Amino acid sequence: MSVSVDVSWKSLNKHGEELCGDKVEILKTKDSQIVILADGMGSGVKANILATLTSKILGTMFLEGAAIDSCVETIAKTLPVCKVREVAYATFSILQIFHNGEAYLVEFDNPLCIFVRDGKIVNYPYQERVIEGKAIREYRFNVSLKDCFVLMSDGVIWAGEGELMNLGWTWEDMADYTLKCTKQTLSASRLAAMLSQLCDDLYGNKPGDDTTVAVARVIERRIVNIFTGPPTHKEDDERVVRDFMKQEGRKVVCGGTSANITSRVLKREIVTSVNYADPTVPPTASIEGLDLVTEGVLTIGKSLGLLKRYEQDEFDEAFFDELDADNGAAKLAKLIIEECTELNLFVGKAMNVAHKNSNLPFDLSVRMNLVEQLKECAKSLGKTVNVKYY
């Protein structure tokens, strides 16, 4: 079994602080994905520096193949000790999931990871070791498809001490709520938004501590293929459509000319949608055998707007309502955010006659620019991206 990992995280800054004292790093190696959550002591600038240093040191050493002992030792020696409390630096959790299904988790002073499997909370056995005087929990296990892991900083557990003074709030309550949410949602990003929103509510929107949740879900590879723009040479029309159609995974065509080419080569008609829910986004169409057919430049531009908000951590439950909207731009963004581990772009480089003869203020360079932005944005969201030009 070869698995992929859908990862997302969400942080709340302590009320009144501009910087967050928690830091999440998501790293990829050729055979695994690694999630690191570090929580710097205190809050504000100092905590932010401590957490950043911790996550960067751990990430760099892990990528170099260092053992956890030497990672902890390096952190213990690198980061300063608080003169008042006489404790050092930062706490952390590191989860590494290999594509072959093996997994490794190590925790130092962070709340326990929440494991959800088959609709239940699972308690994996762990070994406790003392390294450099620090008690470390280590877990080794195998994952299954649909497993879900939630790493958190201790702000999550303190959320009950917020404005609502819900003092009964415990790790078990958080685990139960997570279980409830995993029954409603499939993507890591939605789950992170729901859990973060709950913590914010418990704090009465004034978090008393930096509060971070990082969610990892085990999923199958999911491939999305997008064809946009006519090829430079008309005789390549058939080649691009054949290349595009033989790929496994979802198939999306963006652009009227591209849709006409696909329809002609496949000898299948285009049916335009009469549902026109959002006047700012051109209507979609359908071609048998394709998952989504949209207009080109305007739709990709709108979709990029959603993707960039997501990339910049500007997503909450209201954002997902927009993502669920019945229009081409939202559907395209949703496919890339929630249903894609690999993105294949098939890009024609011909000048679009429709653009040349109109007074519209864009030309080929606009479409190429949008494709370039789409590629970079998808990469920064952790997707594997391949581009083929025609």
Query: Domain residues of the chain, as ranges?
Result: 4-219, 223-389
Determine the longest span between alpha carbons in the chain, in angstroms.
76
Residue 252, beta-bridge partner list: 226, 292
What is the pLDDT, as a whole number, of residue 40?
93
**Cut 0.75: pTM above it:** yes
What is the pLDDT, as a whole number, of residue 193?
94
Q: Return d(Cα 354, Cα 248) in angstroms, integer.
A: 31
Considering the segment(s) 4-219 as one domain, its CATH architecture is 4-Layer Sandwich (3.60)
Nearest-CA neighbor of 296 among 255, 341, 357?
Answer: 255
Residue 31 contacts residue 98 (beta carbons within 8 Å): yes
Structure tokens at 77: 């020696």
Q: Return d(Cα 32, Cα 150) in angstroms, integer.
A: 18
What is the pLDDT, as a whole number, of residue 145?
93
Residue 31 contacts residue 100 (beta carbons within 8 Å): yes
What is the pLDDT, as a whole number, of residue 192?
95
Contacts for 123 with CB less than 8 Å, ≥ 6 apart: 115
Structure tokens at 4: 């992929």
DSSP state of 95: E
- pLDDT mean values, one per 10 residues, the chain (390 residues): 90 95 92 94 90 94 88 82 68 94 94 95 92 88 96 90 67 95 87 94 91 96 95 95 96 96 96 82 95 95 96 89 95 96 95 57 73 95 94
What is the pLDDT, as a whole number, of residue 354?
56
**The residue to which tokens 């979802």 are assigned:** 250
What is the pLDDT, as a whole number, of residue 171?
94
Q: Return d(Cα 125, Cα 172) in angstroms, integer.
A: 17
Q: Return d(Cα 197, Cα 75) in angstroms, integer.
A: 32
What is the pLDDT, as a whole number, of residue 96?
95
What is the pLDDT, as a whole number, of residue 226?
98
